[in-house]
């Protein structure tokens, strides 16, 4: 019978078909892979599926499957280095079957590394898929992939990936030091101390999955925690109507490079509350539950309590019960924005999250197109053109010879701690920008829709309407401000021109050296 850990391609199957060594059937140090292909979505019992997975051999995924362990410790005789070249005498001392197995293992490793190196080269190239299904390589390389900031954030070398496919006890101190130098530069680990990063270097596993792969399935027990190294994954929640029994699946968000997911089920010992699916080819670093409990549990537990306290302090959640707050907290986030950072803006549809300002202030800036025209007397006049529903200039409007369009960004309001935005206000050509360092609590819109069918969002939208005046009102305020600034400028200029300061300076007040340099000085007899 063919071993699943030794067969990933037809070529390898031909080399290893005769191998049926029980010693090769090993588990990955107790690490249970939690991912399943889309073909598993058949309504099977999740517990039975997981039970079958634990009985099968579990190997680290490098190419989007569970069949690519780089080095199998049990396939190498005890006391020998798998990378060390054997002497001819030692090879001849083996039996023919042992020699065949050694050669087959070498072929397997060479095939694996050739695919891995080919994949690493392809990651830095653009391949465009056309509507007819054909592919075209429009550029020979991705320019962004060679920028220093991108390489230092999301790039892992082939050696680092190989080390992260080993069991923790198989990683040497030199390899751990090498991993630590890479982990220290990854975006998803910026928040952790150096001590935590060193501990993570010894227990993280590298995985790579293709588009459409299910990483976590709703209703399954939580076994691992994931960091997104590259790519994008979507989170979906399936609800069942108690009256009709119909299933309704809704996408509640996305996780991009630098994000993480899967900690909630590990923190509370509950089942998965959402299904996570790869939106494209993505790379992950996986942390299994025992290692999570040892390294990160305390940190994430403190964050969960911090978010819970933030929710309780917001007036909008004053009438929510503890169960609703707990469910909302599971999908909430605390995010810090540096000064002068665009937080949200120029969107037609309401965002997926509601933003509650926990600390700092934000400026509301609106983009306005104006008409600038000159009168026959040389004066400049500014007016507002006719706009359509999207606040763009109507297509049937034509400029006169003496007119031209100008773009202005108007600061229409400032909001601070306790305020919120993203509740459905008109944000077309309107931007929310941090005035200084701002900390926001992001709460999923789905939580509000489940609470009283979203009726609270209507009142919240009415509350924020005063901070978002119409374009006509914004333009009127702009003219008033412009007139006021012009009046102040002219007033100061007029006052300065009228000021008469008496000149009481005497010749003796000028230093003697300056008087000598500027001309003869009359000498007065003392």
Between the CA of residue 391 and those of 167, 408, 433, 471, what are the distances in Å? 58, 13, 20, 8
| CA proximity to 178, closest of 194, 147, 157 | 157
| CA proximity to 260, closest of 280, 235, 238 | 235
What end-to-end distance do the CA atoms of the chain give, in Å?
126
| CA proximity to 291, closest of 28, 5, 4, 509 | 28
Query: Would you list the domain boundaries of the chain?
Result: 4-126+140-162, 181-311, 332-473
Please state the φ and ψ torsions of residue 373, each to the nearest 5 degrees: -135, 155
Per residue in 204-250, pLDDT tens?
A: 999 999 999 999 999 999 999 999 988 999 999 888 877 887 888 88
Distance between CA atoms of 285 and 270, rounded to whole angstroms?
22
| CA proximity to 319, closest of 442, 459, 484 | 459
Burial call 279-308: b when 16+ CB within 10 Å, e when fewer = eebbbbbbbbbebbeebbbeebeeebeebb
Class of domain 181-311: mainly beta
HSE, CB side, 13 Å, CA atoms: give it for residue 309.
Answer: 6
CB of 206 within 8 A of CB of 60?
A: yes
Predicted confidence pLDDT, tens digits, the chain (526 residues): 444 443 344 444 443 333 343 333 333 333 333 433 333 333 344 333 333 333 333 333 333 333 333 333 333 344 444 444 455 555 567 788 888 888 888 887 777 777 666 554 444 443 444 444 444 444 433 333 333 333 334 568 888 889 998 888 889 999 998 888 888 888 778 878 888 888 888 999 999 999 999 999 999 999 999 999 889 999 998 888 778 878 888 888 888 888 889 888 888 888 998 999 999 999 999 999 998 888 888 888 888 899 999 999 998 898 898 888 888 888 888 899 999 999 998 888 888 899 999 999 999 999 888 888 887 777 888 888 888 877 788 887 878 788 888 888 889 899 999 999 998 888 888 999 999 999 999 998 888 888 877 788 888 888 888 888 888 888 888 889 888 998 999 998 888 887 777 777 777 788 877 777 776 555 554 4
Identical topology for domains 181-311 and 332-473: yes
Three-state secondary structure string covering 6-68: HCCCHHHHHHHCCCCCHHHCCCCCCCCCCCECHHHCCCCCHHHHHHHHHHCCCCCCCCCCCCC
- pTM for this prediction: 0.56
pLDDT at 339: 92
Alpha helices by DSSP H, 320-444: 322-330
Class of domain 332-473: mainly beta
Per residue in 139-193, pLDDT tens?
A: 433 333 333 333 334 568 888 889 998 888 889 999 998 888 888 888 778 878 8
Residue in the block written with tokens 């034509």: 398
pLDDT at 435: 92
Distance between CA atoms of 274 and 14, rounded to whole angstroms?
40
């Amino acid at each position: 019978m063919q071993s699943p850990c030794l067969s990933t391609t037809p070529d390898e199957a031909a080399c290893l078909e005769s191998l049926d060594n029980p010693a090769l059937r090993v588990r990955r140090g107790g690490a249970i892979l939690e991912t399943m292909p889309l073909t598993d979505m058949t309504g099977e019992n999740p517990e039975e599926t997981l039970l079958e997975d634990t009985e099968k051999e579990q190997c680290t995924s490098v190419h989007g499957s569970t069949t690519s362990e780089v080095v199998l410790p049990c396939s190498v005789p005890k006391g020998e280095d798998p990378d060390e070249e054997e002497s001819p005498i030692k090879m001849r001392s083996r039996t023919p079957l042992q020699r065949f197995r050694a050669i087959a293992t070498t072929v397997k490793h060479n095939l694996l590394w050739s695919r891995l190196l080919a994949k690493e080269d392809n990651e830095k190239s653009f391949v465009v898929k056309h509507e007819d299904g054909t592919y075209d390589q429009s550029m020979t390389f991705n320019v962004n992939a060679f920028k220093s900031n991108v390489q230092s954030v999301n790039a892992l070398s082939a050696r680092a990936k190989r080390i992260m496919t080993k069991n923790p006890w198989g990683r040497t101190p030199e390899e751990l030091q090498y991993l630590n130098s890479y982990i220290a530069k990854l975006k998803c680990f910026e928040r952790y101390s150096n001590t935590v990063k060193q501990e993570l270097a010894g227990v993280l596993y590298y995985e790579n999955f293709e588009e459409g792969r299910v990483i976590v399935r709703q209703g399954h027990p939580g076994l691992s925690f994931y960091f997104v190294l590259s790519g994008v994954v979507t989170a979906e929640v399936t609800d069942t109507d108690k009256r009709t029994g119909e299933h309704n699946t809704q996408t509640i968000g996305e996780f991009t490079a630098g994000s993480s997911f899967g900690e909630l089920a590990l923190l509370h010992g509950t089942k998965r509350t959402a299904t996570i699916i790869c939106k494209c080819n993505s790379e992950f670093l996986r942390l299994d539950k025992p290692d999570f409990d040892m390294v990160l549990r305390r940190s994430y537990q403190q964050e969960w309590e911090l978010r819970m306290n933030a929710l309780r302090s917001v007036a909008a959640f004053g009438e929510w019960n503890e169960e609703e707050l707990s469910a909302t907290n599971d999908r909430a986030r605390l995010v810090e924005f540096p000064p002068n950072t665009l937080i949200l803006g120029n969107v037609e549809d309401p965002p997926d999250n509601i933003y509650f300002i926990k600390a700092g202030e934000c400026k509301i800036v609106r983009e306005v197109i104006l008409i600038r025209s000159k009168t026959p007397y040389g004066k400049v006049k500014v007016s507002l053109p006719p706009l359509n529903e999207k606040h763009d200039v109507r297509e049937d409007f034509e400029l006169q010879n003496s007119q031209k369009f100008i773009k202005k960004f108007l600061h229409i309001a400032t909001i601070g701690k306790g305020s919120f935005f993203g509740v459905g206000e008109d944000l077309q050509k309107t931007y929310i920008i941090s005035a200084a360092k701002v900390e926001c609590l992001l709460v999923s819109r789905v939580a509000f829709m489940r609470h009283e069918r979203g009726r609270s969002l209507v009142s919240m939208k009415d509350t924020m309407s005063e901070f978002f005046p119409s374009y006509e009102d914004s333009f009127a305020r702009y003219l008033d401000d412009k007139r006021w600034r012009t009046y102040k400028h002219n007033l100061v200029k007029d006052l300065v021109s009228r000021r008469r300061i008496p000149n009481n300076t005497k010749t003796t007040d000028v230093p003697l050296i300056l008087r000598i340099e500027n001309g003869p000085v009359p000498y007065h007899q003392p």
